[in-house]
C-alpha cells in the first residue's frame, strides 16, 4: 500500500512541475486537485487502518514501519503545499490590482467559457465508486472556481457604460453556470450518499449472515445431545429462521434502493459491483434459509422423539412404583382372599408389561442415538 501511494505522489508531483507555467493551468489544475482529494481521502483511511493494525498486532519492526510512514507523510505534505501554492498563484492572477478592468473582464470571460465547456463535456458511464468520488471532487472544485469568478466580477468598481453592460452579461452567465454546476454537484453527492448507504447495508448483511451461520453450526452440534440441549437448539434455530425472514425484507428494500438510485445527471452511473455483491448476498441468504429449515425440521423430529421417550419413561416409572406397592402389600399381609389376589395379579401383569416396554424403549432409543436414525 505504501508503494502504491509513493507512486501516486511521484505522479502528482511530476504533473505539478510539468504544468506549473502552462497557459491553461486551471483546467489541468482542477483535474489534478480532484485526483489529489480522492487519493488524500484514501490516504487518511489508510492511516487509520495503519494505526489500528499496530494496536491489534504488535510488530518487532514497528519503529521502522513508523519511520516509513513518517517519510511518506512528509512527501505527501510537499505535494499538498505545491498544489496549494499553484492555487494561490491562479487566484492572485485574477485578483491582482495590477490588471486593468478590461483585461480582468477578458480573463474572467475566458475562464467562464472554459468552465461552461468543462461542465458541458461531462458525459460517459461511471462504473465504480472511485470514479464517482473523482467526479464529485471535480464538481466541487468547479463550484469553488465559479464562486471565485462571481466574487471577482462583483469586486469590479465603477466602469464605463460599455464595460458595465459586459459585467452584467458576464454575471448573468456566471450565475447560469453556477446553477448547472450546483445542480450536478447536488445530484452527484446525493447519489454518492445512496451508494454509501448501500455499501453499509451490504456490510451489515455480511456480518449478520456470518453470525447466523455460526449459530446454525452450534445447533448442528446439538443434534445428538440430551433432551434439554436439543430443545435449546430448536429455540435458537427458530430464532434464526425468524431473523432471516426479517433480513429478507431488508434485503428486498436494499435492492429497491439500488433500482431507485437518483438519475438525471450528465453522466450515467452503472453500479455493477454493488449489483454483483447484492446478488451474491441474496444467494447466501437463500442458502442459509434452506439450511435453517432443514436443520429445524431435523431438530424438531429429534426433540419429538425425546418427548415420546420421556412420556413412556414416566409411564413405566409409575407402573414400577405401583408394582412395588403391591409387592409390599402382599408380603405384609398373612392371608389374602381370592378377589384381592386376582386383582393384585392383574396389576402385576400390567406392571410387567410396562416394565418390559420400558426396557425395550431404552434399548431402542440407544440404538437410534448411536446410529443417528431419523424418525
pLDDT tens per residue across span 121-168: 888 888 888 888 888 888 888 888 888 888 877 777 556 656 677 778
Cell of 336: 389374602
Instruction: Spell out the long-range contacts of 14-18 with Cβ–Cβ below 8 A and sequence spacing 24 or more.
Output: 16/79, 16/82, 16/83, 16/86
Q: List, for residues 85-112, the tens digit of each pLDDT value.
A: 766 766 666 666 666 677 777 778 888 8
Instruction: Spell out the long-range contacts of 42-51 with Cβ–Cβ below 8 A and sequence spacing 24 or more.
Output: 42/5, 43/5, 43/76, 46/1, 46/5
User: Which residue, among 142, 134, 94, 148, has the nearest Cα to 117 in the 3D structure?
Assistant: 142
For residues 66-84, give the mean pLDDT. Answer: 75
- CA 368 → CA 220, 232, 283, 372, distances in Å? 17, 20, 35, 6
- CA 44 → CA 2, 33, 38, 73, 143, distances in Å? 12, 16, 10, 10, 24
- 310 versus 259: the higher-pLDDT residue is 259
- Angle, CA 263 vertex, CA 276 and CA 113 arms, to 5°: 120
- CA 348 → CA 114, 340, 342, distances in Å? 108, 12, 10
Mean pLDDT of the chain: 77
d(CA 122, CA 269): 12
Cell of 60: 518487532
Cell 437518483 belongs to which residue? 262
Q: Are strands 125-126 and 268-269 parallel, antiparallel or unpaired?
A: parallel
Q: List, for residues 316-341, the tens digit of each pLDDT value.
A: 677 666 666 656 555 545 554 546 55
Lowest mean pLDDT among 15-19, 163-167, 218-222: 15-19
pLDDT band at 199 (very low <50, low <70, confident <90, very high): very high
Cell of 117: 465547456
Strand ranges, E, within the chain: 125-126, 268-269
Contact 141, 102 (CB under 8 A): no
pLDDT cut 70: percent of the chain above it: 69
Q: What are phi and psi of 195, to 5 degrees?
A: -65, -40
- CA 141 → CA 2, 28, 240, distances in Å? 27, 12, 49
Cell of 141: 472544485
Contact 269, 126 (CB under 8 A): yes
Q: What are phi and psi of 73, to 5 degrees?
A: -65, -40
- Angle, CA 105 vertex, CA 100 and CA 109 arms, to 5°: 150
Number of H helices, E strands in the chain: 9, 2
Q: What are phi and psi of 61, to 5 degrees?
A: -105, 40
Predicted TM-score of the model (pTM):
0.65
Cell of 278: 447484492
Amino acid at each position: 500500500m505504501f508503494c502504491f501511494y509513493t507512486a501516486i505522489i511521484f505522479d502528482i508531483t511530476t504533473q505539478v512541475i510539468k504544468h506549473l507555467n502552462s497557459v491553461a493551468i486551471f483546467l489541468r489544475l482542477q483535474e489534478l486537485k480532484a485526483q489529489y482529494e480522492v487519493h488524500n481521502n484514501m490516504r487518511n483511511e489508510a492511516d487509520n487502518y495503519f494505526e489500528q493494525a499496530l494496536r491489534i498486532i504488535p510488530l518487532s519492526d514497528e519503529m521502522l514501519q513508523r519511520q516509513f510512514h513518517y517519510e511518506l507523510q512528509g512527501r505527501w505534505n510537499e505535494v499538498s503545499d505545491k498544489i496549494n501554492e499553484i492555487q494561490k498563484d491562479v487566484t492572485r492572477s485574477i485578483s491582482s490590482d495590477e490588471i486593468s478592468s478590461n483585461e480582468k473582464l477578458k480573463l474572467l470571460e475566458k475562464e467562464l467559457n472554459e468552465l461552461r465547456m468543462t461542465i458541458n463535456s461531462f458525459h460517459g458511464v461511471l462504473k465504480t465508486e472511485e470514479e464517482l468520488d473523482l467526479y464529485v471532487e471535480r464538481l466541487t472544485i468547479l463550484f469553488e472556481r465559479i464562486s471565485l469568478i462571481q466574487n471577482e466580477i462583483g469586486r469590479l468598481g465603477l466602469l464605463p457604460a460599455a464595460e458595465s453592460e459586459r459585467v452584467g452579461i458576464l454575471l448573468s452567465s456566471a450565475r447560469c453556470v453556477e446553477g448547472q454546476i450546483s445542480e450536478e454537484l447536488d445530484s452527484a453527492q446525493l447519489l454518492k450518499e445512496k451508494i454509501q448507504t448501500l455499501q453499509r447495508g451490504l456490510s451489515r448483511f455480511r456480518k449478520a449472515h456470518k453470525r447466523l451461520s455460526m449459530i446454525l453450526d452450534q445447533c448442528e452440534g446439538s443434534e445428538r445431545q440430551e433432551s434439554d440441549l436439543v430443545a435449546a437448539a430448536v429455540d435458537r434455530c427458530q430464532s434464526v429462521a425468524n431473523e432471516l425472514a426479517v433480513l429478507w425484507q431488508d434485503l428486498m428494500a436494499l435492492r429497491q434502493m439500488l433500482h431507485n438510485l437518483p438519475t438525471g445527471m450528465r453522466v450515467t452511473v452503472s453500479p455493477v459491483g454493488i449489483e454483483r455483491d447484492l446478488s451474491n448476498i441474496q444467494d447466501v441468504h437463500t442458502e442459509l434459509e434452506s439450511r435453517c429449515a432443514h436443520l429445524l425440521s431435523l431438530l424438531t423430529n429429534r426433540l419429538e422423539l425425546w418427548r415420546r421417550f420421556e412420556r413412556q419413561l414416566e409411564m413405566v416409572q409409575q407402573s414400577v412404583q405401583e408394582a412395588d406397592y403391591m409387592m409390599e402389600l402382599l408380603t405384609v399381609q398373612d392371608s389374602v382372599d381370592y378377589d384381592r389376589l386376582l386383582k393384585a395379579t392383574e396389576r402385576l401383569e400390567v406392571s410387567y408389561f410396562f416394565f418390559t416396554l420400558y426396557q425395550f424403549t431404552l434399548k431402542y432409543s440407544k440404538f437410534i442415538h448411536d446410529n443417528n436414525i431419523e424418525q
